[in-house]
Amino acid sequence: MQIGILGAGAIGCHVGGMLAAAGKMPVLVGRASMVEALADGIELTSVDRPAIKAGPGSFSLSTDPAALAGCDAVLVCVKSMDTRQAGHELAPHLKPGATIASLQNGVANATVLREVLGAGPGSPRVLAGMVAFNVARIGANRFHRGAGAEIVLEDAPGALALTGEMLEAGLATVIRRDIEAVMWGKLLLNLNNAANALSGLSLRDQLADRNWRRVMALCVREALVAMRAAGIRPARVGPAHPRLIATVLELPDWLFYRIVARMPAMDGEARTSMAQDLAAGRPSEVDFLNGAIVDLGVKAGVPTPVNAAMVKAVKAAFAAGRPPGVSGAQMLEMLRR
């Protein structure tokens, strides 16, 4: 199976690098600056395994989506705000019946891709997906997985063959029938992206600060109220049930650390994609994360002032080009006003 990746960012390069190291010869399409950075290959490091190197001859690179024309499957790894444009760029080049998998943050990307790419005989088979791990780009061509390990794909035609290819490349991948619930469950965890970006800390250091954990807990509790009002039941993603996430985050440090000791390892290089975007001067996905909760609250008739405040704070930080320089205690006080 020929696999292509549209969006050679941190996640795209991690997945593409793993496929390349396994001899799958993936096609990576990304920005010109990334294509140049990957000319010497892709280095993959992780919190829980030895380093892997995908040499420059083990994958192909392009800035043109037309390079994906012969692919049997395309993994869409662009930012959520670019999904519709990505669909339009892919449409003229896709192989009839190709499998398209969204490996993106947010809950609506697969729906957007289906709208753009259409349905019917010969149309692409679009799969919703979820990535349950964090990848940070370090230097020019090293991509470090700092926490988590799993990819989840929608149980639909095309998923089984693609999953087989991913597993052969060492990418832990599972198929789920309740993919929508899984994506809402992941969104609960992704509400921390904003807190991490605002903190200016690594994920490990941010979560070591009880006040920053309380910031995330406020976002999660509010999100659960909105989801309940909308009839959405998020699936468990990670070690804690959705109803327990906020409670665990609010625990005193000594007890939180005892629970965290049983969770997947996380190292000091892990940062959320939003924190990386802020550092790199790229646009924020906050409208598709905390903003999705605000939109859901509007539809369900539930107020969501905490997530709305996080959206506002993130947009101000991105406008300034840096974290606001506030402590977790200060952010918590701002949200509680």
| Contact of 304 with 293, CB cutoff 8 Å | yes
Tens-digit pLDDT profile for residues 278-332 = 999 999 999 999 999 999 999 999 999 999 999 999 999 999 999 999 999 999 9
Q: How is the chain split into domains, by residue range?
A: 3-177, 182-336
Alpha carbon distance 304, 46 (integer Å): 36
Length of the chain: 337
Tokens for 71, please give them: 């692919």
Q: What is the mean pLDDT of the chain?
A: 94
4 CB neighbour count, 10 Å cutoff: 29
Region 7-20: mean pLDDT is: 97
Q: DSSP state, 52?
A: E
* pLDDT, tens only, 14-60: 999 999 999 999 999 999 999 999 999 999 998 788 999 999 999 99
CA-to-CA distance for 166 and 155, rounded, in angstroms? 15
Give yes or no for a contact between 135 and 144, defined as CB atoms under 8 angstroms apart: yes
**Is 256 or 238 the better-scoring residue by pLDDT?**
256
> For residue 304, which of 189, 220, 238, 198 has the smallest C-alpha distance?
220
Asked if 237 and 182 touch (Cβ cutoff 8 Å), the reply is yes
At residue 278, the 3 state secondary structure works out as helix
DSSP state of 48: S
Q: Where are the alpha helices (DSSP H) in 40-158?
A: 83-90, 109-117
For the domain spanning 182-336, the CATH number is 1.10.1040.10
Largest CA distance in the chain: 57
Question: For the domain 3-177, what is the CATH superfamily, name and number?
Answer: NAD(P)-binding Rossmann-like Domain (3.40.50.720)
Alpha-carbon distance 266 to 253, whole Å?
16
